A and B are shown apart, each in its own frame.
Chain A
Amino acid sequence: MNGDHRGIDTAPSFPGIAARAAETDATGRIPLQNWKELTDSGYLRLFHSPDIGGTGADGPTQAAAMEALARACAGTFWAATVSALLCAKLISTYGDTREHARLLRPLLSGERLATFAVVEKTAGSDSGTFRTTVRPAGPAGSDFVITGEKSRIANSPAADLAVVLARREKLPGDDGPDWCLAFVDLRQPRVQRYAIPHMGLRGMSWGGIVFDDAHVAAADVVPVPIEELAEGMAWGWLFIAFAAIGIAESALAASVRHARQRVSFGRPLAHMEGVQAQLAESHAQIDAARLLAHRVTCERAAGRSARDLIGMLKIYATEMAVGVAARAVQIHGAAGVTSGHEVERLYRDAQMNVIGGFASNRLREQVAEGLGLGPAVYRAFDWVTPSGLGRDPVGLDGLVHAAGDGA
């Protein structure tokens, strides 16, 4: 794509990571060189202020860097950004930057990897179904233990540290929030982990964590009202939107290349108007998403919430990228469905973003609420039959035949 990335000269680029993207996908592991390249580029520090070890990059630079890494390798982008952006923001926002500097510093230096564990085996969209609980370790003890199983979590098999959403077992008289974030060291015996094979973003590890009365220091249990968490979660929606945009851009770039090279009916596909129309629609849609993504990144970098806009962006960008990747596969013909081909990988990667970090339709609910429509109202589906629309009609001769059929 000859997309003009204006004004992003200071943002890093990731040629080595891009060159290894196919290998990363095939082996299901992020090569060590990728981590080195990430650390050297300064990517892990961009999103944070200097007081916690960040470089405080401005909005355009943050956006350009996320877009560039997502284009290079979506799996690597996810793994790095869950840890260095999402988890570090959660710790610095809801934790104490002085107390938790010991956790933040290694995440920003790339020595440690973090995971954000919210969802369990039950319906991930509904926090009411989550059971993982933190309780005091002993009657008078100041530390805590955590029990429960988190599942389908990005980075969880490989991570060193988990930011866990858990219920608080409350003692009588405790009228604090029902929920907390627990910062749990995963390198301890009472933590088991498993990997789940997955369709796309294969370089990123993904799976479950079982906490069996695992230890959590008292200072690492932060009570948080669950409504306030959406603000932190929005960092997740934002980076996932960038993942989608990067994937879509790569898919379009591959399509343009292929259309120029592949000859059919005596001319390159590029001269076929049907192909051109697909490229043009993809281009306009990617740009629409990209401009909104850059706008909201600047809002966030300036300290504003922009949560509703980020919700809209996540929905649009992730579904858009699936469409763009599907067009790319079509333009590539059989090459596009051959294992190991770039667009085959992008097609698998694209779908992951629609589900990860809140599936689209669950998010639409939140956006609707932000439009002033009130919270979602769930009621058993029972209004069609009473309205007379729940029955098949009688035939043209009325009840005579209907009765006959029943006999």
Chain B
Amino acid sequence: MLSHTLANGAADADGGGLSLVEWARELAGRVVRPTAAERDRDRRWDQGIFAELSGARSGPGLAGPLVPRALGGGGLSATRTCALLEGLGDGGRDPGLALAVGVHAVLATVLLRAFGNPRQQRRYLPRMASGEWVGAVSLRQTQGAAHASTVTARPAAAGLGGWVLSGELDLVAGAPVAHHFLVIAAHDDGSRTAFVVDRTTPGLLINDVGPVAMRTCPWGQVMLDGCVVPEDAVLSTVGGAADEVEPLLAALDWVFLSAPWLGVMRALTRDAIADAREHHLFGRPVVHAQSARFTLADQAAQCELASGLLYRAAGQFDGGGRPSREDAAAARLFVAAAARAVTEGAARLPGALGTTGDHLIERAHRDALFFAETGGGTEVLRPVIAASLLGIG
């Protein structure tokens, strides 16, 4: 077998000799995995599981790894956060729940960390890091304005101050359980502003609709019916989303929402190797069949290749420099294709589609297809990379 250090080359060690990937894998294996298939069938979010992941005793909580310690967070590096999410995907075997955790723990918190004013940071971040407040984001809004904006912002009636938000957002991960939402809204002149909108805002309504995939993620559609929000709901500058919030939000989605999939790919590969040892075809052990062996060899390679791109992109968030959008997009483009290749390879092996077990292959198959379309899918990722290569666009 590949040695552990090789298989997890990019993850650094936590105390006690366990890498952070291993630590998270073990935690998620205990807390998430046992009910994953059942919650998937029932389309259920379990707040207790989230609380347990958030308040993990022996290591960093999963709710706010990137929130500074002074604000109650884990104060982890981006690289270590990536490792945490990889371990969650691997041990938990639940892409939907890992998506929900990633959206809250990375997308929602980092935007406040990066662009929130001190008042906003003090108000939101400690309670987000503890898991008490969930922040929700629409996956439609993580690709800048690649999709036309569906929410408008107009100045509130004279004298009142603040803004009136109207419109609707779907694919909001975390909506049913969220305390607040990140909403990017367009002004009449086409410029856009990011807002943090509390759930209690009058006129805000949540509908219980979601995609067929990622069923363990709490999904919803958010309707904003003339919601009046104060000036202090503005994240960063008015009209500045295109230069500030949107590029960061896109890169965070591309990198950190990919991380659990590296874990899922590793879990599928490990399962496939174990299954191949047990099954027979034409009276021969499957491990003797060359096509199965080649499939497994390629699956293992896809994991390592994806890991390299992912940790490079994550590492660029550490050390104070500007992460490269090209590298973040390349990581997502590759991981999404690799996730599908690994799931498909695993599904083709004899005995893969059993009637027992936790049906990770079937769930991952459905979810990987969905995952490949999020973050903009190839139609957004390829132009982003090409623009950078060609110096145009």
Contacts and interface: CB of A to CB of B under 8 A. Distances in A.
B294 A368 contact: yes
B283 A383 contact: yes
A102 B122 CA distance: 70
8 contacts: A2-B391, A4-B324, A271-B392, A276-B383, A280-B381, A308-B6, A312-B297, A370-B2
A368 B296 contact: yes
Contacts of A4: 324
Contact of B327 (A280, A287, A367, A379): A287
B293 interface: yes
A335 B324 CA distance: 33
A277 B387 CA distance: 10
Contacts of B309: 284, 287-288, 291
Interface stretch (B23-31, B53-61, B154-162, B299-307): B299-307
Q: How large is the interface on A (under 10, 10 to 19, 20 to 34, 35 or more residues)?
A: 35 or more
10 closest Cβ contacts across the A-B interface? A291-B308, A276-B386, A368-B293, A312-B301, A280-B382, A280-B385, A367-B297, A383-B282, A288-B305, A284-B330
Q: Which residue, A1, A260, A372, has most C-beta atoms of chain B within 10 A?
A: A372
B389 interface: yes
A283 interface: yes
A307 to B, nearest CB: 10
Interface in B280-304: 282-284, 287-288, 290, 293-294, 296-298, 300-301, 304
Contacts of B282: 383-384, 387
A273 B2 CA distance: 40
A292 B308 contact: yes
A316 B301 contact: yes
A295 B296 CA distance: 21
A315 B324 CA distance: 28
Interface string A358-384: 000100110110111110110100011
Contacts of A271: 392
Contacts of B290: 365, 376
B273 interface: yes
Given A275-B386, A288-B306, A373-B276, 9 more contacts: A260-B392, A273-B382, A276-B382, A280-B329, A280-B389, A287-B327, A312-B304, A361-B294, A383-B284
A315 B294 CA distance: 11
A309 interface: yes
Given A4-B324, A287-B327, A364 B383 contact: no
Nearest to A366: B297
B312 interface: yes
A270 B392 CA distance: 8
A379 B289 CA distance: 10
B273 A373 contact: yes
Given A280-B382, A291-B309, A365-B293, A371 B330 contact: no
Interface of A: 1-2, 4, 252, 256, 259-260, 270-271, 273, 275-277, 279-281, 283-285, 287-289, 291-292, 295, 299, 306, 308-309, 311-313, 315-316, 361, 364-365, 367-368, 370-374, 376-377, 379, 383-384, 387
B115 interface: no
B294 A276 contact: no
Contacts of B9: 295
Contacts of B44: none
A260 B391 CA distance: 9
B389 A377 contact: no
A260 B300 contact: no
A290 B81 CA distance: 24
B386 A277 contact: yes
Contacts of A259: 390
B145 to A, nearest CB: 18
B277 interface: yes
Contacts of B306: 288
Contacts of A273: 382-383
Given A277-B386, A373-B273, A309 B6 contact: yes
Interface of B: 1-2, 6, 9, 273, 276-277, 282-284, 287-288, 290, 293-294, 296-298, 300-301, 304-306, 308-309, 312, 324, 326-327, 329-330, 333-334, 378, 381-392
Contacts of A270: 386, 390, 392
Q: Is the interface of B mostly helix, strand, loop or mixed?
A: helix
Nearest to A257: B390
Given A287-B330, A316-B305, A371-B1, A364 B294 contact: yes
Nearest to A270: B390
B383 A368 contact: no
Contacts of A287: 309, 312, 327, 330, 334
Contacts of A308: 2, 6, 300
B235 to A, nearest CB: 30
A284 B297 contact: no
Given A312-B301, A316-B301, A364-B293, A280 B386 contact: yes
Contacts of A376: 290, 293
B333 A280 contact: yes
B385 A284 contact: yes
Contact of A276 (B298, B304, B390): B390
Contact of B378 (A277, A312, A313, A373): A277
Contact of B308 (A295, A311, A373, A387): A295
Contacts of A379: 284, 288
Contacts of B386: 270, 275-277, 279-280
B390 A256 contact: yes
A373 B277 contact: yes
A283 B1 contact: no
Contacts of B389: 1-2, 252, 256, 279-280, 283
Contacts of A361: 294
Nearest to A372: B1
Given A283-B330, A284-B330, A376-B290, A371 B297 contact: yes
A281 B273 contact: no
Contacts of B324: 4
Nearest to A255: B389
A4 B388 CA distance: 12
B83 to A, nearest CB: 16
Contact of A260 (B312, B326, B387, B390): B390
B339 to A, nearest CB: 14
B305 A292 contact: yes
Contacts of B296: 368, 371, 373
A281 B333 contact: yes
B334 A284 contact: yes
Given A284-B309, A387-B282, A2 B293 contact: no
B2 A315 contact: no
A289 B304 CA distance: 9
Nearest to A381: B282
Contacts of B384: 280
B305 to A, nearest CB: 4
